[in-house]
Amino acid sequence: WDETHFGKMGSYYINRTFFFDVHPPLGKMLIGLAGYLSGYDGTFPFQKPGDRYEQHNYVGMRGVRLYRLVSSWLALLCFSVQILELSKSLPAALLTAFILIFDTGCITLSQYILLDPILMFFLMGAVLSMVKCNSCADRPFSASWWFWLSLTGVNLAGAMGVKFVGLFVVLLVGLNTIYDLWDLLGNLSLSLVMFGKHFLARVLCLILLPLALYTAMFAVHFTVLNKSGPGDGFFSSAFQSQLIGNNLHNVSVPE
């Protein structure tokens, strides 16, 4: 059923048809982009599970360009987190990667038009970026430290932009940041000015940057979906007047 739902959402983006959905837009925009790049024209109705795609080019949306690539990166990210930062054990990292590679659930998820592989990619990316940033604690404000801190913020925005379940990795990074700042505050050799710089750097990269990217996703969402569709009724008359094909299009709506 989910493939029917998210496949239809991808078709809406390709056709630039406005719709309303409970999930944030990033994952569905990537699904639509995968279909567009692979030559899918957005004409399949996605009415019920099990309908045959027939001549419709669904392959790009289902896996070749997006899901298989994302799923293959999951094992690499998991391996990197284990061997580079956490266990520092090659056998443990190999075992973790192999468990993920041969997990039936992950294999199944990577074969259909779903948000979960994209979500898992950003979740693992956020964890990897966080632990890599922690490893640069002895050289704060270096290029690598800024890179991993900023990449953590980017991955947080990505996780939140796919599903609200991404809040859990935001909580994880938030707790890690609080612990890190508390440790810095207890360092008597660190001046308050330097502590303030650490605090502002985290506010910039872990709060402001993710919020800016998350807002930008919706800006792209509303820019692309400029035609009237099934989601019109959830929004104000003033908003509907901006949608091509709506009965109120270009009508002057009083405040």
Domain boundaries, the chain: 2-242
DSSP code for 15: H
pLDDT of residue 70: 56
What mean pLDDT do residues 95-108 have?
76
pLDDT of residue 55: 72
- Using alpha carbons, select from 33, 66, 22, 29 the residue that is nearest to residue 219: 29
pLDDT tens sequence across 193-224: 999 999 999 999 999 999 999 999 999 999 99
Q: Helix crossing, 167-185 with 192-203: angle to 10°?
A: 170
Highest mean pLDDT among 32-41, 68-77, 193-202, 220-229: 193-202
What mean pLDDT do residues 173-177 have?
97
Task: Look at 112-126, 147-161, 184-198 and tell me which has the smallest mean pLDDT.
Answer: 112-126
pLDDT tens sequence across 152-161: 999 999 999 9
Q: What share of the chain is helix, strand, coil (3-state, %, to 5)?
A: 65, 0, 30
Tokens of 222: 């509303």
Whole-prediction pTM value?
0.86
